[in-house]
Structure 1
């Protein structure tokens, strides 16, 4: 992105009027508006987070906030102009040609997008993004963190077959990470002393809708 475009995206993601949804792995696969989640009694919130931690100890689990941009645009949901414009850009011929040239893969036909926000205590455990019916070819992360320290957590981690971390990337600003699917990766927990939320636009370059 140009610097101005990246700053416009960051401004959209930090607008207090933006309605984020709290996402965690649950049987219903339902995200809850953050305001509703945080309006629950403290003991109920603690119970849910304890459930998340129990599942994360030895398995797959996550908790973070997100906005499904592609879904919102397609259903007419109110969406900040910068986010809707980004989704349109990602699916125009110039961007798709860029993606095909970068990867050498002519199968790329569509890009989806969601905004993500990881605050203190939030994380995404190891997974490989594989979903054959969804046509996921490559995952991407457009990082939008103007200032970030590795000590704050929120690192994009890549693991080998033994579960060892072989690469780690600190969130930057206007930096694009792209990697082939399937590939095991995770986002480490953001620390309580992080100076800002970890913000990004993420999704997949797909072979079909």
Structure 2
């Protein structure tokens, strides 16, 4: 069991005021030294990554299978995604949905399951309600995400009918990220202009109210490392449980 917990001395009131005023906020040092443990977990060779590209089935493909395809086929799939991204919603990045991973019994680094447990503990949910002033928060899902050079997430609002999404969050776990590497969380107005940008800062939690227009800019080919984070939503209820692995 990893020693993951909320850090002491968090500036919750200041962050809560900003969230109430603007619909988004940042809070540094959320889990203290635990951020280093999560960074180590996403680098672990046992980590399982799935390649996420927008598709009608909302299904991801194991990165190992995607990269086993001939280079020409990989390029064709990426080119199709780029074409769809010109005027529509599209994304390319890697992730692992922890609820599904647990149901499938995937032997990933335990620290990630421990983080999911922490996020759904009563002390953490109480923290989330205090930060947002929203007593409806009852569940937090979570997915480690990895943005490699060329990965991006187009403009969208996170609104999803019947999903119970109240607030989106991003826990950044990339040390020493530089703004010029891309991977920036950008908030947009109705005209599509950028109104505010959050640069990934190690151990910092970003939270914003749903729905809200935002995107993640493409990671540059010269980025010095992948962009890692834990992302998800604070929901009014858990999503339907995935089918569990047969015993």
Is the partner of 1:133 in helix, strand or coil? coil
Query: Which residue is equivalent to 1:81?
Result: 110
**Structure 1 outlier segments of 4+, above 6 Å:** none
Summarize the Cα distance change of 1:129–1:2 in structure 2 as closer, same or farther, 3 Å threshold: closer
- Are the counterparts in 1 of residues 174 and 229 from structure 2 also a CA contact under 8 Å? yes
Alignment of 1:58-207 (within 5 A): 58-207=87-236
**What is the CA-CA distance between 1:33 and the residue it aligns to?**
0.8
Counterparts of 1:52 and 1:83, CA distance in 2: 29
TM normalised by structure 1 equals 0.97
- Are the counterparts in 1 of residues 95 and 143 from structure 2 also a CA contact under 8 Å? yes
CA deviation vs aligned residue, 1:84-113 (integer Å, no higher than 9, x gap): 000000001100000000000000000000
CA deviation vs aligned residue, 1:168-191 (integer Å, no higher than 9, x gap): 011110000000000000000000
Is the partner of 2:135 in helix, strand or coil? coil
Is the partner of 1:129 in helix, strand or coil? coil
Structure 1, unmatched stretches of 5+, are: none
Counterparts of 2:235 and 2:226, CA distance in 1: 28
Structure 2, unmatched stretches of 5+, are: 1-29, 239-247
Summarize the Cα distance change of 1:161–1:108 in structure 2 as closer, same or farther, 3 Å threshold: same
- Are the counterparts in 2 of residues 135 and 207 from structure 1 also a CA contact under 8 Å? yes
**What is the CA-CA distance between 1:115 and the residue it aligns to?**
0.5
Query: Which residue is equivalent to 2:77?
Result: 48
Is the partner of 2:204 in helix, strand or coil? strand
